[in-house]
Structure 1
Amino acid sequence: MIAHLTPGHTKGCTTWTTKIRDGKKIYDVVFVGSQSVLDYKFVGQESYPGITSDFERSFALLNHLPCDIFLASHGSFFHFVKKHEGLLRGDANAFIDPDGYKTYLRESEHEFRNKVAQQKTAQK
C-alpha cells in the first residue's frame, strides 16, 4: 500500500492506494480518507493555518490517482451498502466503480469551492 498525504479534512488525512489482481486483470484501489469540509473556516482566521491550500493540493492529487475500486473512511461516501447488496446478488464486480470515485471528488470539490466562495462573500 502507498500512503498519500491528503490534508484538509484533518492535517494528517491520508489516502491509501494499492493494486489487486483478479486473474489477469489488475485493479487500482483507492481508500480515501475524507474530503468533507464540515464547518471549517477558509477565509480570515482559518480553522487551521493553510487548510485552504491543503484542500487544493489534496484535490489535485486525488484527481490524478487512477481508480477502479473506490473505498473511503465512511461507507456512505462510496455507497457501501448498495455495493454489498450487489455482491450478495452475485455481482462479482459490484465494487468496481471508477465513475463513483470521480463523482465523489467532483461533489466534494464543489462543496469546498462553494464554502470558500460563501465565506469570502460573507466577509465583505
Structure 2
Amino acid sequence: MKPKIYSVDDVYGITRDLPRNYVGREAVDEKLRSDLNRGKHLVIYGSSKQGKTCLRKHCIEDDDQLVVQCSNKWELKDIHTAILKRAGYEITVSEKEAISGTKKIRAKIRGKIPGLGGGSRG
C-alpha cells in the first residue's frame, strides 16, 4: 500500500483537530485513561504550548468531555458557573440586601439534572 503524503501545512500549524505530528506517550496516555476511569473530575492544567489539548483530544472522545477555558482570575464560583453553563444549564442568580445589612442569595438552575428532573432551586 502506498503511504499517504502530507504537505507541511497538513502537519504543522494551528488546527482544532489532533495534529498529524502528535506522538503518543504511553505512560502519560495510560495514566490519564486510568485516572478517567476512577469516576472523578479531572483538571488538566499547565503553561501554554505544553500539549494539554492534544493529550485530551488523543485520550478522550469528543462526546465524553466538557471543556471549560478558565481564567487565573476566577474564583471557585466562576468555575462552577462556567461548568454548569457549558453543560447546558441556565443559571440565574439574584442577590438582595436586607436593612440589617445581611445578604440573601437565590439561585435558579434550569436544565436536566439526573434524578431530579427539570431543574433545581437553591
Normalised TM-score (structure 2): 0.23
TM-score, with structure 1 as normaliser:
0.22
Q: Flag the structure with higher helix content.
A: 1
